[in-house]
Chains A and B, each alone.
Chain A
């Protein structure tokens, strides 16, 4: 029986965000926006969803007078991502 794909990760933008955060220590909002080629509004909504699920940790601070949002993947997020990739393998196996 095929494992179910995590619906939270099975979306283009959220999967993109999680793939980036899996590869780095931390990334700022502007970096994620540039790399995923998304709009600020949409990215913000998806980050909140991932944060609410405990997959990422969002830290809000200031860079000079500008607000700065930094994102980091959590252990729960790493586990969910690994499980998602493992489930994906089952679908791809010939």
Chain B
């Protein structure tokens, strides 16, 4: 692209504007990494909780499995920062997406801290905002499996109010498989 002044007519100006907008239109980052990382971490935590509560005496220590989320958060932040530097551009939707997930994390954080007060029935509370963030991410990147993943979380979240306090961990684990892992692997495949 050169720096021409005189021979640029209004039609050409409009073409430049629409060309450039089209160039950046498909630039939304759609990394499967986060869904796979968190899918495995939370599935493992849920299965761990179910196992400790159902088959062992270590019920007081069981919630410690959630501390696995701390390294997962650190990995997430390092990865996100590297991706942003690598992409060379930050779109408005990237920014919205980032704040959507940070907002979701803030929403569910107290339930992990004060989980004991609600008999560790955290899945009923956390799956709903996770469903909303997943559903909206699917809308943002226009990826149907993620939209269906979000709906899965909403159904699972509702189901957690019906099943027993121990079984809700199994519901949570299954929701993670269909809400995060399956769409995550499909997204990875589509990006390749």
Q: Which residues of B contact A (CB under 8 A)?
A: 1-5, 8, 10-14, 16-17, 19-21, 23-25, 27, 85, 87-92, 94-95
Write out the residue numbers on chain B whose beta carbons fall within 8 Å of the beta carbon of A92: 10-11, 14
Given A11-B8, A19-B16, A24 and B1 contact (CB-CB distance below 8 Å) = no
A residues with a Cβ closer than 8 A to B are 5, 7, 10-16, 19-20, 22-28, 30-31, 34-38, 42, 45-46, 63, 84-85, 88, 91-92
Chain B contact surface mostly:
helix
Nearest CB in chain B to that of A85: its residue: B17
User: Known: A11-B4, A20-B20, A20-B23. Contact between A30 and B88, CB under 8 A?
Assistant: yes
- Given A24-B89, A88-B13, does the pair A35, B3 have CB atoms closer than 8 Å? no
Known: A25-B95, A28-B89. A12 touches B20 (CB 8 A): no
- The reply to whether A16 and B16 form a contact with Cβ atoms under 8 Å apart is yes
| A-B pair number, CB within 8 angstroms | 90
Residues of chain A contacted by B20 (CB below 8 angstroms):
16, 19-20, 23, 35-36
Cβ of A46 and Cβ of B3 under 8 Å apart?
A: yes
Q: List 13 A-B contacts (CB under 8 A).
A: A7-B5, A12-B3, A16-B16, A19-B21, A23-B91, A25-B92, A25-B95, A26-B90, A30-B88, A31-B87, A35-B24, A85-B17, A92-B10
Q: How far is the CB of A42 from chain B (nearest CB, A)?
A: 6
A15 touches B85 (CB 8 A): no
Known: A19-B16, A24-B24. A14 touches B3 (CB 8 A): yes
Which A residue sits closest to B90, measured CB to CB? A25
A41 to B153, CA, bound (A): 51
Contact for A42 among B3, B14, B88, CB less than 8 A = B3
**Assembly CA distance A26 to B21 (angstroms):** 14
Q: How far, in angstroms, from A27 to B91 measured CA to CA in the complex?
A: 8
